[in-house]
Amino acid sequence: MPNLKVRNLPEGVHRALRARASLHGCSVEAEVKAILAATTNAERTVPQVTGDSLPLGTLMSSYAREAGLTNEDFEVFDNIRERMRVDLGAC
């Protein structure tokens, strides 16, 4: 499981986290994990890709097909993206 280190956390934020953790009867670390999980909706929005899972591009394609998008729709998206690059001077 990945680790996350937050540097230069303002003292007020740390105090608030300690208070929330205390109210919920857990550690600051557990409180931060709960906040991150709740605010990112990670389990619902980003499928985990593991050994036998499909690659992310394949999953995204299947979601697009379920939504009824066609190849023509993707061509429109590509054209819009190209126009935006030209208009914005992006690489």
The token pair at 39 is: 């605010």
Judged against a pLDDT cut of 90, whether residue 8 lies above it is answered with yes
Yes or no: say if 3 and 10 are a contact pair by the CB < 8 Å rule. Answer: no
DSSP state of 5: -
pTM to 2 decimal places: 0.46
Chain segment 15-60, per-residue pLDDT in tens: 999 998 888 888 999 989 888 888 877 655 555 555 566 676 777 7
